[in-house]
Amino acid sequence: MYHHVKRLMYTVNVGEPDVRFGQMLLEQFGGANGELAAAMQYSVQGLNCDDPKRKDMLMDIGTEELSHLEVIGSLARMHLKPLKQGQCSKAEADPLIAVVGGGGVSLFNSQGNPWTADYLKVSGQLEVDLRSNIAAEARAKITYERLIDFTDDPGTKEALTFLMTREITHMKAFQAALETMGKGPFEIGELPPDEEYVNKYYNDSTGEGELGEDATGPWNQGGDWELVDSPAFATLASKQ
């Protein structure tokens, strides 16, 4: 069950409201990598999770993301406040928020696109979901980093830094939950991959370009790797 506590998870102070920045903040309210997406993704994964310990973690973090949604929504509202003040010049900055939303936040991203459940990654396979969550936290982290870079308001920077920090905390928890599942790093699902193909790296580009020659590295060389040059040409030649 859910319970609302009448305090924000982190106190938000804004000096001078900045409507354009408020619009940018909506990316973390109703955007693809935003707090509602995170809250719903982890909570729905948690509902589906049969491992009681990791289910508990998913529900804890999903619930914290709802608290983040409240913080980012409060922050965005403070920055969007001038849209409530009846000045046409201000309302022109974002007619959707001013005219349709009355100057308040709605579940749209920074470009006014409505939030969608299509943002969520829920696979029903725990190790796959945990990997999706680690990636989701990484995207949320970098979005906060960019937002912090685009504001000079100290109170705003502080609140965003708190939210950014918690995403790294979640990433650590998801990573630990994944590592302790007893599965190897490439062990996904139940079926093993086909040994004939799993270690072949297809070099699907040829020649030299402006960026140089074909690159080699631990992703195609050494260990079990077998480098296969231009497999498409080999297929063509075999058909002639």
65 binds Mn ion (CB under 5 A): yes
Specify burial of residue 157 (Cβ count, 10 A radius: 0-12, 13-18, 19+).
middle
- ∠ CA 124-127-129 to the nearest 5 degrees? 50
18 vs 35 by CB, closer to Mn ion:
35
31 vs 103 by CB, closer to Mn ion:
31
10 vs 108 by CB, closer to Mn ion:
10
**Number of Cβ atoms within 10 Å of the Cβ of 188:** 14
Please count the residues of this chain forming the interface with Mn ion, following the rule CB under 5 A: 5
Give me the residues paired with residue 228 across strands.
202
We find the least distance from the C-beta atom of residue 140 to Mn ion, in angstroms, to be 6
61 vs 78 by CB, closer to Mn ion:
61
Task: Kindly indicate which of the ranges 72-80, 163-171, 173-181, 182-190 contains the residues binding Mn ion, using the contact rule CB under 5 A.
Answer: 163-171
We find the least distance from the C-beta atom of residue 41 to Mn ion, in angstroms, to be 10
Specify burial of residue 167 (Cβ count, 10 A radius: 0-12, 13-18, 19+).
buried
We find the least distance from the C-beta atom of residue 174 to Mn ion, in angstroms, to be 9
19 vs 37 by CB, closer to Mn ion:
37
**Which string of b and e fits 65-102 if b means at least 16 CB within 10 Å?**
bbbbbbbbbbbbbbbbbbbbeeeeebbebbeebbeebe
Q: Tell me the H-state helices in 117-192.
A: 126-149, 154-179
We find the least distance from the C-beta atom of residue 136 to Mn ion, in angstroms, to be 7
We find the least distance from the C-beta atom of residue 183 to Mn ion, in angstroms, to be 23
- In Å, how far from its chain's centre is CA 172? 15
We find the least distance from the C-beta atom of residue 79 to Mn ion, in angstroms, to be 18
**Per-residue contact string for residues 5-44; x = within reach of Mn ion by CB under 5 A:** ------------------------------x---------
54 binds Mn ion (CB under 5 A): no
68 binds Mn ion (CB under 5 A): yes
14 vs 39 by CB, closer to Mn ion:
39
37 vs 91 by CB, closer to Mn ion:
37
Q: Where are the beta strands (DSSP E) in the chain?
A: 200-203, 226-229
Cα distances (Å, whole numbers) of residue 132 to 33, 45, 123, 204: 12, 11, 9, 28
We find the least distance from the C-beta atom of residue 72 to Mn ion, in angstroms, to be 8
C-beta of residue 153 within 8 angstroms of C-beta of residue 1 = no
Binding positions for Mn ion, rule: CB under 5 A: 35, 65, 68, 167, 170
